[in-house]
Amino acid sequence: MRSRHIWCVILTAAIGISAGCGDGDTEPATRAIDAAALDSGNYATVPRDIEASRTETSGARQEAIRIGNATPLPADVDGKFAFKTSIYWDRRITPGDPTALPSLNTRDFNDLTPGFIAGWYSRGQRREQVGLGTGLDLYTLRFENSALAQAAAARIADRQQESSPGESIKIPERPDARAKWNPKSRYLDSQLVDGPMLLLVHVDDPVSEPVDTARLVDLTQQTFTKLIEGLKGYTPTPVDQLRSLPLDVDGLLSRTLPLDDQGKPTDRGDLSMALPRQAALHTDHYPTLTKAAFDDAGVDLVAFSGGQLYRTRDTKSPERLIAAFIDQEAKGYKAIDSPPHMPGVKCFDTKDSKTSKDRYSPVCYFGYDRYAARVQTSSVQQLYQRTAAQYKLLAYGH
């Protein structure tokens, strides 16, 4: 699957991307799929007005994305943290979307963080399976000012100590940080304030014998350095301007298949979003591999909703991005037929019924112009209709 030439031949012939495999300039892509012949069921096929979905939490959620786009990946701190665990993509934290901090639960969050505006969460692991290697959790939380961030840091550290007592540890290069080592649970929790940003780092090591706490302290120091460096690229939006932050970028989200009721896993409403490149990488199961694929394809924007759309640099790049995604997931999937009247669209079903159906649910990929589409759902019949609807959304008006 790694051969660029093979994939170029397959996708060019099947999806109709013309002259996309040679060097130099090419004509605009042509498309062999007849949208009128596709069965899209009752799924949306007309772009929607994303601004119509704006709520009171929308501005803070968009600010969270801006923070996420300036936050380094755990793999940016250390390339060994090459895996992410959770299936769902949303990493945003707001007062309306609180998170469970280490040793604490979600109900504690807003009580401990007066003045909190928005933030981002990311996790990386050294092994794909939980509990088989060191894990690194990052929380980048923005407050109204530094004083409120300092107060929240103290409250969080005190509550963590009450909930899960541990030993105070110094972070040599960050004397203003507060850190606690829990030898029973084998993790190090640290807090550092940088202006209005509260940076929380959680490192757990469930397997080393004995645990090298000096290594975990050094990793925490590296993480704080990377976080502060990355967040220099973030300029806080004034609180009174949060509502002006756009919900869509270049109309990409409006042309992404909307979430249906089954695709909304929480009571937080529609969590559809468009993410710039760095923020999108935080959501990926294999962030290091996907970062390389993004670099190769020139991905700069990703939309997440009932499907996923990736905007690449040109009409030749979607095929390579799709090939990279298929390579990453090959161990969990078996190839199945394309949807009716959609020759060349690459579709897969769960290879082994014993594996997680959430992790390896039926999926289809296709390219359209400079966009790569990924559609995933619980049944093949539903998948085919949703893939047809996603194609019609991209083809609408063309």
Per-residue pLDDT of the chain (398 residues; tens, 9 = 90+): 333 333 333 333 333 333 333 333 333 333 589 999 999 999 999 999 999 999 999 999 999 999 999 999 999 999 999 888 766 679 999 999 999 999 999 999 999 999 999 999 999 998 776 656 799 999 999 999 999 999 999 999 999 999 999 999 999 999 999 999 998 889 999 999 999 999 999 999 887 878 889 999 999 999 999 999 999 999 999 999 999 999 999 999 999 999 986 655 556 678 899 999 999 999 999 999 999 999 999 999 999 999 999 999 999 999 999 999 999 999 889 999 999 999 989 999 998 877 666 678 999 999 999 999 999 998 999 999 999 999 999 999 87
Instruction: Dump the DSSP string for 3-45.
Output: -HHHHHHHHHHHH--TT-SSSS--PPP-----GGG---TTS--
CA distance 286 to 201: 21
What is the C-alpha R_g of the chain?
A: 22
CA distance 378 to 119: 31
Is the four-CA dihedral 11, 15, 16, 18 of positive or negative sign? negative
Q: What residue has token string 């998170």?
A: 99
CA distance 246 to 259: 19
**pLDDT computed for residue 281 by the predictor:** 96
pTM (predicted TM-score): 0.89
**pLDDT computed for residue 17 by the predictor:** 34
CA distance 287 to 294: 10
Q: How many Å separate Cα 106 from the centre of its chain?
A: 21
Q: Which of 247, 253, 389, 382 is nearest to 310 (CA)?
A: 253
- Check if the beta carbon of residue 258 is closer than 8 Å to that of residue 309: no
Domain spanning 76-231, CATH class: alpha beta
Q: Which of 282, 292, 280 is nearest to 249 (CA)?
A: 280
Q: What residue has token string 């670099």?
A: 295
What letter would DSSP give residue 305? S
Q: How many Å separate Cα 12 from the centre of its chain?
A: 29
**Cα angle 298-302-308, degrees, rounded to a multiple of 5:** 120
CA distance 291 to 280: 10
Domain extents in the chain: 4-53+247-395, 76-231
- Check if the beta carbon of residue 393 is closer than 8 Å to that of residue 47: yes
Tokens for 191?
């807090």
Query: Which residue type sits at 75?
Result: A
CA distance 191 to 220: 10
User: Order of strands across the sheet with 135-143?
Assistant: 92-93, 116-125, 135-143, 197-204, 187-194, 178-182, 167-169
